[in-house]
Amino acid sequence: PWRPALLLSPVPLRAGAWQPTFSTSCARCSKNRRLREKRAISERKLTRYFVDHRKVRVVGGQGGEGGHSFYSEPRKIYGGPDGGNGGDGGHVILKADQQMKSLSSVLPFYQGFHGEKGGSKNCYGANGAYVYVKVPVGTLVKEDGKVVADLTRHGEEYVAAYGGAGGKGNRFFLSNENRAPTFFTPGEPGQERVLHLELKTTAHAGLVGFPNAGKSSLLRAISRAKPAVAAYPFTTLNPHVGIVHYQDYEQVAVADIPGLIKGAHQNRGLGMAFLRHIERCRFLLYVVDLSVPQPWIQLQDLKYELEQYKKGLSERPCVVIGNKIDLAQSRINLPLLKEQIDDRVIALSALTGDNLEELVLHLRELYDTYVMTEQSRGQSPVKW
């Protein structure tokens, strides 16, 4: 029987030479090593794959034309018409899929399959097959600036374009006045629409803060997400979602929203392109840099930008995260911050990992409160 060539411990072969703990000749071991050596995609490369806007033209399938034939059988001269109806055209359907994270795979044009022509002996033509377009959960569908669908649940569907009805065969037009109809109708064309797809990231919590406040570092510390981290502003160009796992198998999704600046509601900086991703968040995590002078000013500016973008957005359940507590100036500003604001403040360091447990526990409290609120309203909470 085949056995992998794998050694449990290094074995000396000669002086200064050691046998590796894995064998490159084993297909399974070499595959595992390739997986371990994979590097995360850089933020600059990720911008090519992450798309949150897409213009799509959808056309339903055309219906099949009706059949035109007469019944023919020996010793039965007047068999009559027997042309069946044509099949209906296929629809184009948008379907929310939790595995999809971007609109980059959505093509600019889709068309449903056409229906088949009606046959003789009153046989109807086959209907055209449906075309399913997978889109991420949280996709907003707009037509002429109006919202026509909001796909917020996994498996939710929306018919983007209906297929045309099949034509009538000459059997349909049989009557007492016309015992031998010769005419039939063609199939109707499918519906044609131009839709605008807009992705709004769906997550339980949203990390909101100014550039270089430490949002990406914090997400890397509490989840397995690997957003880019650097010492210059606007390192994060796309929203990232990380999952915080708990022992009872509950999962809380945390979204890293790109940094905001003053005037973001007026589309300054990354502005409106990423403010809309905060709308889906059930509770907010304000990340402020404790090392800067008067860190409470950051919190006031953040809430102002959110309120100007959408009224009531800044009033959602929240917690203030004072990051970079490992710095000396941060320890001086922490009591001053708590005096200036009424919200709960959690001081931590995403770099060293200090006090991350308090954030994870409080994050679960916010999630449980959200679940109880949704269930009391008779609605099902969003699960990951």
Q: How would residue 261 be classed by pLDDT, with cut points 50, 70 and 90? A: low
Q: Are 318 and 196 found together in one domain? A: no
Q: What is the pLDDT of residue 137?
A: 86
Least confident among 19-28, 157-166, 196-205, 234-243: 19-28
* Residue bearing the bigger pLDDT, 31 or 131: 131
Domain end: 147, 180, 200, which one?
200
Domain end: 181, 200, 219, which one?
200
Helices (H), the chain: 27-36, 43-49, 215-222, 272-275, 296-309, 328-340, 356-376
Question: pLDDT above 70 covers what percent of the chain?
Answer: 79
Q: What is the pLDDT of residue 382?
A: 74
Q: What is the pLDDT of residue 38?
A: 43
Kindly state the average pLDDT of the residues 336-362.
89
**Residue 183 · residue 173 · CB < 8 Å:** yes
Helices (H), 37-93: 43-49
Residue 220 counted as domain residue: yes
Beta strands 109-111; 17-18: pairing state: unpaired
User: Which CATH number belongs to the domain containing residue 169 in this structure?
Assistant: 2.70.210.12
d(CA 253, CA 205): 6
Res. 91: pLDDT tops 60? yes
d(CA 378, CA 34): 48
* Residue bearing the bigger pLDDT, 151 or 21: 151
Q: What is the pLDDT of residue 8?
A: 40
Residue 4 counted as domain residue: no
Q: Are 152 and 263 found together in one domain? A: no
- Our count of domains for the chain comes to 2
Domain carrying residue 79? 47-200
Res. 174: pLDDT tops 90? no
d(CA 319, CA 359): 9
Residue 20 counted as domain residue: no
Residue 33 counted as domain residue: no
Q: How would residue 260 be classed by pLDDT, with cut points 50, 70 and 90? A: low
Residue 331 counted as domain residue: yes
Beta strands 17-18; 92-97: pairing state: unpaired
Q: Are 194 and 226 found together in one domain? A: no
Q: What is the pLDDT of residue 177?
A: 81
Residue 249 counted as domain residue: yes
Q: How would residue 378 be classed by pLDDT, with cut points 50, 70 and 90? A: confident
Q: Are 192 and 287 found together in one domain? A: no
Q: Are 242 and 319 found together in one domain? A: yes
Question: pLDDT above 90 covers what percent of the chain?
Answer: 23
DSSP structural state of residue 257: P
Q: Are 228 and 356 found together in one domain? A: yes
Q: How far is CA 49 from the centre of its chain?
A: 13
Q: Are 152 and 83 found together in one domain? A: yes
Q: Are 151 and 282 found together in one domain? A: no
Q: Are 179 and 241 found together in one domain? A: no
Find tokens 């198998």 and name the residue. Answer: 249
Return phi, psi of residue 362, to 5°: -70, -30
d(CA 265, CA 272): 6
Both tokens assigned to 324: 């970079």
Least confident among 70-79, 102-111, 316-325: 70-79
Domain end: 171, 200, 229, which one?
200
Q: What is the pLDDT of residue 203?
A: 80
Q: How would residue 68 be classed by pLDDT, with cut points 50, 70 and 90? A: confident
Res. 274: pLDDT tops 80? no
Q: What is the pLDDT of residue 160?
A: 95
Res. 248: pLDDT tops 70? yes
Q: What is the pLDDT of residue 237?
A: 56
Kindly state the average pLDDT of the residues 130-155.
90
**Residue 123 · residue 88 · CB < 8 Å:** no
* Residue bearing the bigger pLDDT, 353 or 196: 196
Res. 41: pLDDT tops 60? no
User: Which CATH number belongs to the domain containing residue 278 in this structure?
Assistant: 3.40.50.300
Residue 22 counted as domain residue: no
Q: What is the pLDDT of residue 156?
A: 92
Q: Are 189 and 210 found together in one domain? A: no
Least confident among 103-117, 194-208, 258-272: 258-272
Give Cα separations from 300 to 202, 262, 294, 341 (angstroms).
Answer: 25, 11, 11, 9
Considering the chain, what is the average pLDDT of its residues?
Answer: 79
Q: Are 136 and 227 found together in one domain? A: no
Measured N-to-C along each axis, helices 215-222 and 356-376 cross at an angle, to the nearest 10 degrees, of 80
**Residue 66 · residue 118 · CB < 8 Å:** yes
**Residue 87 · residue 64 · CB < 8 Å:** yes
Q: Are 161 and 283 found together in one domain? A: no
Residue 32 counted as domain residue: no
